[in-house]
């Protein structure tokens, strides 16, 4: 029973990371209809920013992380400005390939930056190594931090999208770009802002992931596991992305505990295929009809 | 542009546009057959790899370029082909049988992967094929009794009866023959009702269905043929590199195949060949120009990936028709010479309809 609880808790904390990355996909997809295969790479870039500020430049943690957030957000907005905004109107295939190309390019470029390279790094954090013992189970503070920060971030995003002027404008943009443009919302800046927010969220995911999976060029591949999360929740649904992420995380941890070796690494994809076969619109999604 | 005056319905489905085309293709065939007699073994080995990529590229082109189904998991079919052929040859099965089995098993896997494609489209399909590829990669590295797992396995040299194809030249001719058959097969398929149905599905699934095309059957056929061709390529690949392990068939191979199809020119048969030459030649070119680069850049392991990513982005944004598009523009320029007007071939941006509005 303790083992089970332990598995569930570490599943939830890894699931939070998937949820954050999936949240990034969904935000971008809802607003711009671009499916961003480079979301995991944005997470990697964010983690490397944080690593640079905190470990290489010795900034304090509480300054380094916000700086990395801003830096990654800016990076995401620039990516949109220079590449993806110019691709509106291209076929879905071309856009998918473009984001795959960006992902490949980012992985390669990051490995070339002096001080980053292909080595494995860690980010110094204030809660490293501390463990909370509660009713027979041990939870590391790092896992707790993941859960707390994710909850706070999702709450903050909820408040932002519901109660601020910019947030409501973004919601309008994602409902209908045309109508949003007619009522005077600057759709282009909205796109850049959404990319910025999405990249910033990915950066936080990267920082949170650092104690669990380190900072490495290929950490972006974890982003591919956020696809099952997004699909499970229904691709266009924000609550769905979070619930999907948590489910994928827990399923993955538990299959690592109870099922034969090797299932763990593909559990997320098996869930994905089952969902696609049984309920392609996901848990919270609505099926869209396309006009011919 | 040479306009063809159509006096017969057969003109629409003829293999060669006119005698001019027959002449040039004949010349190309002669060059491919005689050239190797004067080529160094190193060049022949490159030729073998171009042939292998042509076969796999033909498979992916049929699926992505002509049926409009995105696949991010074609490396898995290649892996199935390579391992089937390798394992069967290890058990003493003659190469031709193992080769055919490789294609057949890949086709079966292709149909299994294609089943979700019946309900999925676009991005969902891309994700599903990606998931399948990960699962197949994991199966191969865990099924150690048969595949020797992550440590990899040696593959016997391919042999026809008592005649083993050892030298690069032998392999070149065999791969060339299969590659030409694959290209002709695709060309033929595309002028048959099944091929036309595939293109109809690509252009609009709903409209094709309304015209009486069986969507499920068409998509599954495309998946099966595509996977079979990629499986054949995998069998040759295993033979060409002699040692296979799961790390050789990761997502980066799938991306390489997509780069091949896209940079070659999506939806064109010439593009397959251009793309294959590009994919094989690029690493060689990079290693050639390394001497001229600053040492820090030249020593980077990610250099090739960076060039790949950059070129992919460049082609998508600047020349979405790929190398074939460039080729057509050059041809057009010279056929119109001195009357080419600037902007004549300017691409009209077509705004695809949004999914929601």
Point out the least confidently predicted range of A181-195, A262-276, B43-57.
A262-276
- Express each pLDDT in B248-300 by its tens digit: 888 888 988 988 998 888 888 889 999 999 999 988 888 888 778 777 777 77
Nearest chain A CA: its distance from B94 CA (Å): 33
CB contact (8 A) between residue A269 and residue B123: no
- Express each pLDDT in A16-65 by its tens digit: 999 999 998 888 888 887 888 899 999 999 999 999 998 888 888 889 99
Give the separation between CA A203 and CA A225, rounded to whole angstroms: 16
Interface of B with A in 99-118 (CB under 8 A): 115-116
CB contact (8 A) between residue A101 and residue B355: no
Q: What angle do CA B168, B171, B175 make, to 5 degrees?
A: 135
Residues 6+ away with beta carbon under 8 Å from A274: none
Number of H-type helices and E-type strands within chain B:
15, 4
Point out the least confidently predicted range of A260-264, B70-74, B171-175.
A260-264
CB contact B134 to A (< 8 Å): yes
Give the separation between CA B98 and CA B234, rounded to whole angstroms: 12
Q: Which of B122, B123, B310, B314 to mutate to test the interface with A (most CBs of A within 10 A)?
A: B123
| Positive/negative CA dihedral, B18, B19, B22, B23 | negative
Nearest chain A CA: its distance from B126 CA (Å): 9
- Express each pLDDT in B312-346 by its tens digit: 888 888 888 888 888 888 888 888 777 777 766 66
Decide if A272 is inside a domain. Answer: no
Decide if A256 is inside a domain. Answer: no
The CA dihedral of A161, A164, A165, A168, to the nearest 10 degrees, is 20
Q: According to the model, what pLDDT value does residue A289 have?
A: 53
Decide if A4 is inside a domain. Answer: no
Residue B347 binned pLDDT confidence (cut-offs 50, 70, 90)? low
Decide if A208 is inside a domain. Answer: yes
Decide if A8 is inside a domain. Answer: no
Interface of A with B in 146-165 (CB under 8 A): none
- Chain A residues in contact with B124 by the CB 8 A cut-off are 231, 235, 276, 280
C-alpha dist (Å) from residue A19 to A150, A193, A223, A246, B132: 9, 20, 10, 7, 22
Nearest chain B CA: its distance from A178 CA (Å): 7
Nearest chain B CA: its distance from A25 CA (Å): 12
Using the CB atoms, write b or e for B49-58: b if 16+ within 10 Å.
bbbbbbbbbb
- Express each pLDDT in B89-107 by its tens digit: 888 888 899 999 999 999 9
Decide if A231 is inside a domain. Answer: no
Number of domains in chain A: 1
Give the separation between CA B170 and CA B162, rounded to whole angstroms: 14
A175 to chain B: closest CA residue: B357
Task: Find the domain containing A210 and state its range.
Answer: 14-223
CB contact (8 A) between residue A108 and residue B258: no
B131 to chain A: closest CA residue: A269
Q: What ranges make up the beta strands (E) of chain A?
A: 131-134, 137-140
Decide if A168 is inside a domain. Answer: yes
Interface of B with A in 177-196 (CB under 8 A): none
CB contact B123 to A (< 8 Å): yes
CB contact (8 A) between residue A269 and residue B349: no
- Chain A residues in contact with B128 by the CB 8 A cut-off are 272-273, 276
- Express each pLDDT in A236-261 by its tens digit: 788 888 999 999 999 998 998 888 87
- Express each pLDDT in B154-195 by its tens digit: 888 887 877 887 788 888 899 999 999 999 999 999 989 999
ipTM of the complex: 0.84
CB contact (8 A) between residue A107 and residue B302: yes
CB contact (8 A) between residue B70 and residue A87: no
Residue B1: is its pLDDT beyond 70? no
Decide if A287 is inside a domain. Answer: no
Tell me the average pLDDT across B196-207.
88
Of B135, B356, B357, the CB nearest to A269: B135
């Amino acid at each position: 029973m303790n083992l089970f609880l332990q598995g569930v808790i570490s599943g939830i904390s890894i699931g939070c990371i998937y949820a954050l990355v999936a949240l990034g996909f969904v935000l971008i997809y809802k607003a711009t209809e671009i499916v961003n295969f480079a979301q995991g790479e944005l997470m990697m870039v964010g983690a490397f920013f944080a690593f640079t500020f905190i470990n290489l430049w010795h900034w304090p943690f509480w300054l380094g992380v916000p700086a990395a957030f801003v830096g990654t957000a800016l990076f995401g907005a620039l990516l949109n400005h220079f590449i993806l905004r110019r691709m509106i109107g291209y076929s879905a295939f071309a856009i998918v390939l473009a984001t795959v190309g960006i992902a490949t390019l980012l992985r390669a470029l990051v490995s070339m930056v002096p001080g980053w390279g292909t080595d494995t790094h860690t980010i110094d954090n204030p809660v490293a190594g501390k463990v909370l013992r509660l009713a027979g189970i041990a939870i590391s503070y790092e896992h707790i931090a993941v859960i707390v920060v994710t909850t706070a971030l999702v709450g903050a995003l909820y408040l932002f999208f519901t109660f601020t002027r910019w947030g409501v404008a973004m919601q309008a943009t994602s409902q209908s770009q045309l109508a949003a443009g007619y009522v005077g919302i600057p759709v282009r800046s909205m796109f850049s802002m959404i990319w910025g927010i999405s990249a910033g969220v990915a950066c936080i995911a990267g920082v949170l992931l650092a104690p669990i999976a380190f900072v490495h060029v290929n950490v972006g591949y974890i982003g591919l596991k956020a696809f099952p999360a997004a699909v499970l929740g229904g691709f266009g649904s924000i609550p769905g992305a979070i619930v999907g992420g948590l489910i994928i995380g827990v399923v993955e941890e538990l299959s690592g505990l109870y099922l034969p070796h090797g299932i763990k690494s593909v559990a997320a994809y098996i869930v994905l295929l089952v969902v696609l076969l049984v309920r392609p619109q996901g848990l919270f999604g609505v099926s869209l009809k396309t006009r011919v | 542009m040479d306009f063809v005056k159509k006096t017969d319905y057969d003109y629409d489905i003829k293999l060669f546009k006119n005698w001019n085309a027959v002449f040039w293709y004949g010349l190309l065939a002669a060059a491919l057959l005689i050239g190797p007699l004067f080529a160094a073994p190193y060049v022949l080995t490159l030729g073998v790899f171009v042939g292998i990529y042509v076969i796999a590229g033909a498979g992916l082109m049929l699926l992505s370029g002509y049926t409009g189904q995105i696949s991010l998991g074609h490396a898995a079919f290649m892996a199935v082909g390579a391992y089937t052929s390798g394992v069967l040859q290890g058990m003493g099965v003659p190469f031709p049988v193992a080769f055919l089995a490789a294609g057949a098993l890949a086709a079966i896997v292709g149909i299994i992967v294609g089943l979700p494609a019946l309900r999925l489209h676009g991005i969902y399909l891309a994700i599903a094929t990606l998931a399948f590829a990960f699962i197949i990669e994991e199966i191969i590295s865990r099924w150690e009794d048969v595949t020797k797992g992550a440590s990899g396995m040696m593959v016997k040299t391919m042999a026809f009866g008592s005649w083993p194809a050892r030298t690069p030249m032998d392999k070149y001719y065999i791969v060339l023959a299969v590659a030409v058959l694959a290209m002709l097969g695709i060309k033929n398929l595309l002028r048959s009702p099944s091929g036309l149905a595939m293109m109809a599905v690509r252009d609009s699934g709903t409209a094709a269905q309304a015209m009486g095309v069986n969507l499920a059957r068409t998509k599954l056929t495309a998946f099966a043929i595509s996977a079979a061709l990629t499986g054949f390529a995998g069998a040759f690949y295993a033979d060409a590199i002699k040692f296979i392990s799961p790390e050789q068939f990761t997502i980066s191979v799938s991306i390489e195949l997509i780069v091949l199809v896209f940079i070659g020119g999506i939806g064109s048969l010439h593009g397959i060949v251009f793309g294959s030459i590009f994919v094989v030649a690029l690493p060689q070119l990079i290693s050639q120009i390394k001497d001229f680069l600053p040492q820090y850049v030249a020593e980077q392991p990610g250099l090739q990936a960076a060039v790949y990513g950059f070129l992919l982005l460049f082609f998508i944004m600047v020349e979405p028709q790929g190398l074939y598009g460039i080729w057509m523009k050059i041809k057009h320029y010279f056929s119109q010479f001195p009357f080419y007007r600037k902007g004549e071939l300017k691409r009209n941006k077509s705004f695809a309809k949004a999914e929601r509005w």
